[in-house]
């Protein structure tokens, strides 16, 4: 099967054809996150707070799965662009195997470590019990998440974006349907509360993996996972982890940031912790849409780089940047036009809504600047420049925002933490532009 269309089609139609299926699937996934939180918020505000506290660990599991998948995607696309089919097959086989091992380890470590983690963020036994109830069930599905995401990146690397879209939509649709049934006990299902939300999510993830497996075994594919390739080729393993670790840290750093900010916000009130959790639920709808574009261009960047089509690499980057700026503009407008309605999806407490509106106004001022950073990071990963991408994420999620949030909070209280988001996006966008140009040279 030929992937030469990646270096032959016109840039804009190519980027759209690769990105739109991922944008749709990311949008559906974001919708699921919002609906999932909406139903949990109906259980109680304590349940929503528990979910917000668990979120960084969930994000860490996803970060490791997606980050390693990004490495797998980039390596396969590069080998296909260079015409090395056997190396691409080896990368797919080894990548899937290691993804499963990662899932087993994450399940064991995260379930065992949650009691200690929770002690740092809440002294309320009701919230702690709810967080343990949810996490103990949700983390059981870590192996499924990791293997499912490895198949997602394999299909993306060969341009089969519609397969990823369909698989993700199936899983998200199942999750959305099962959420109210399992949380509130409708029909044959008992009322399980927050545990029902965890089971609904896990079942959706299993369905996504099942669709990938059915498509892989019953349709012709450009990549073959074969037992004979399950040998320790250190060149491939080094490539997988050199990109994968950088991408994982890129995605894991937000978990560190959220945990640190939760600690700062808890000094003022647990309502601020809830608002931060709500914000991250809302922002997924915007940022995961932009991430859909990034997922679309990664294999294009890698394939064209491997094929020596450097002019197309530059054009692909510029096109995706303009698309992401447009998405972020929409997010900014919505955050200023209907902030009460957005925050009101997750709480009916007037004080919490007021805090949330102030947070959205301050944070969204940096959305458009963030388009530069996320596009640069995704493009650098596609080119195999994982270290540069990691450096940008380190600036954005650690080196700039954490000290600035602390300093601003001394002057403006909790509002200072919201202001630090916008300041950080402006600073890191400037660095991103310089670093991308340097890496390209």
CA 197 to chain centre: 19
Domain hosting residue 155, numbered range: 7-440
Is 298 part of a structural domain of the chain?
yes
* Rounded (10°) CA dihedral 370, 35, 351, 132: -100
Residue 289: inside a domain: yes
Q: DSSP letters of 252-312?
A: HHHHHHHHHHHHHHHTT-HHHHHHHHHHHHHHHHHHHHHHHHHHHHHHHHHHHHHTT-HHH
pLDDT, the chain, mean: 86
In a domain, residue 2? The reply is no
Number of domains making up the chain: 1
For position 30, what pLDDT does the model report? 67
Distance in angstroms (rounded) separating the CA atoms of residues 300 and 3: 10
CA nearest to 130, candidates 81, 192, 63, 221: 192
Torsion of CA 47, 53, 54, 58, to 10 degrees: 130
CA-based R_g, the chain, Å: 21
Which is nearest to 197 in space by CA: 33, 380, 311? 33
User: What pLDDT does 62 receive?
Assistant: 85
**What's 384's DSSP letter?**
T
Predicted TM-score of the model (pTM)? 0.72
Residues of the chain with pLDDT > 90: what percent?
31
Give the C-alpha distances (Å, rounded to integers) separating 253 from 14, 32, 57, 244, 346: 31, 23, 11, 14, 25
Identify the top-confidence range among 66-80, 194-208, 248-262: 194-208
- Nearest Cα residue to 436 out of 368, 380, 378, 371: 380
Confidence of residue 1 (pLDDT cuts 50, 70, 90): very low
- 220 is a domain residue: yes
Is residue 1 situated within a structural domain? no
Please tell me the distance from the alpha carbon of residue 148 to that of residue 388, in angstroms, as a whole number.
27
Question: Within a 10 A sphere around the Cβ of 38, how many other Cβ atoms?
Answer: 15
Reported as a single tens digit per residue, the pLDDT across 143-190 is 999 999 999 889 888 878 888 888 988 988 898 899 899 999 988 888
**pLDDT tens profile 283-306:** 877 787 788 888 788 888 878 887
pLDDT value at 57 more than 60: yes
């Amino acid at each position: 099967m030929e992937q030469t269309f990646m270096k032959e089609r016109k840039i804009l139609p190519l980027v759209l054809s690769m990105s739109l299926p991922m944008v749709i699937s990311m949008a559906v996934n974001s919708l699921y996150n919002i609906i999932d939180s909406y139903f949990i918020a109906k259980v109680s505000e304590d349940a929503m707070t528990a979910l917000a506290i668990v979120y960084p660990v969930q994000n860490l599991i996803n970060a490791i799965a997606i980050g390693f998948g990004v490495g797998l995607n980039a390596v396969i696309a590069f080998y296909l662009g260079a015409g090395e089919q056997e190396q691409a097959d080896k990368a797919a086989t080894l990548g899937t195997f290691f993804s499963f091992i990662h899932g087993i380890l994450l399940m064991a470590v995260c379930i065992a470590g949650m009691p200690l983690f929770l002690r740092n963020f809440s002294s309320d036994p009701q919230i702690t019990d709810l967080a343990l109830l949810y996490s103990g069930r949700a983390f059981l599905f870590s192996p499924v998440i990791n293997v499912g995401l490895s198949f997602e990146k394999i299909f993306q690397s060969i341009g089969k974006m519609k397969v990823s879209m369909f698989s993700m939509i199936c899983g998200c649709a199942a999750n959305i349907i099962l959420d109210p049934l399992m949380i509130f006990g409708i029909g044959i299902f008992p009322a399980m509360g927050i545990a029902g939300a965890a089971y609904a999510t896990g079942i959706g993830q299993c369905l996504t993996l099942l669709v990938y497996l059915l498509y892989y075994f019953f349709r012709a594919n450009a990549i073959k996972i074969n037992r004979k390739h399950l040998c320790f080729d250190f060149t491939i393993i080094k490539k997988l982890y050199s990109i994968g670790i950088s991408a994982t840290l890129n995605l894991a750093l937000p978990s560190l940031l959220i945990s640190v900010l939760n600690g700062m916000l808890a000094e003022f009130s647990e309502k601020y912790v809830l608002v931060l959790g709500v914000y991250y639920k809302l922002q997924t709808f915007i940022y995961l849409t932009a991430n859909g574009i990034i997922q679309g261009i990664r294999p294009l960047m890698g394939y064209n780089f491997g094929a020596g089509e450097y002019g197309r690499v530059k054009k692909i980057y510029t096109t995706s940047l303009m698309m992401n700026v447009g998405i972020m503009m929409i997010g900014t407008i919505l955050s200023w036009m209907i902030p009460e309605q957005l925050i009101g999806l997750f709480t009916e407490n007037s004080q919490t809504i007021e805090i949330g509106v102030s947070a959205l106004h301050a944070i969204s001022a940096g959305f458009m600047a963030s388009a530069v950073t996320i596009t640069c990071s995704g493009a650098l990963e596609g080119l195999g420049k994982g270290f540069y991408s990691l450096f940008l994420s380190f600036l954005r999620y650690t080196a700039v925002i954490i000290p600035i949030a602390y300093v601003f909070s001394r002057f403006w209280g909790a509002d200072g933490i919201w202001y630090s988001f916008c300041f950080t996006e402006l600073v890191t966008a400037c660095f991103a532009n310089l670093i991308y140009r340097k890496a390209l040279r």
